[in-house]
Amino acid sequence: MRKIELDVVALTHSVTSSHNYAVILGEVGGERKLPVVIGGFEAQAIAVAMESMIPNRPLTHDLFKNTIDAFGIELKEVVINNLLDGIFYAQLICWDGKREVVIDSRTSDSIAMAVRYNCPIFTLDNIMDEAGMLLDPEEEKKISLESKAKTPKPTPKKAKTFAEYSVKELNDLLTKVLENEDYEKAAKIRDELNKRNDN
């Protein structure tokens, strides 16, 4: 099957669900568009990379990129390789210096990674024939304007340190993190409480 290269054209609210977004992929050298419905977190991850924003702490996709970079693995391309019951499937095509490695991925995650690596995104001609669509110029203009207005923006803010919490807030937080079995954070909170008791 022939591969078709795609560009990220827009990121906007999904018309089918108010809680989701749609990333619109455009056929390079063609007029068809491939809309992929994604969640808010993934939309934010794509928007952050597209707008070259640097959050205070790495997002999950940044962490994954940093990890595979540290091991000398290169993301060569992303392929949206299947469409089943309205759900797109994708693969990350990687190179470890000796061999090609194919990793299954959610399409939204693969697009977020492709944007970070500035690597090509492809789909197969049968998927584009089935799910691709032509948008009239007015619809395209509307999507472009909506994507500028509604692209989810991260809200980077400085995390509150444990030293800034009151004793009551620390005890409440300790109860919560223990319920979530976050023992590492619980240990840090206990350290802060012990430090205050010693004073």
Q: What is the pLDDT of residues 38-72, one digit of tens each?
A: 888 888 888 888 888 877 778 889 999 999 999 99
Residue ranges per structural domain of the chain:
3-150, 162-198
> Residue 89 above 50 pLDDT?
yes
Contacts of 58 (CB under 8 A, 6+ apart): 66
- The proportion of the chain whose per-residue pLDDT surpasses 90, expressed as a percent, equals 41
Task: Write out pLDDT tens, residues 90-111.
Answer: 999 999 989 999 999 999 999 9
Task: Write out pLDDT tens, residues 147-161.
Answer: 444 445 454 445 567
Distance between CA atoms of residues 77 and 110, nearest Å: 9
Contact (CB, 8 A) for 46 and 147: no
CATH class (in words) of the domain with range 3-150: alpha beta
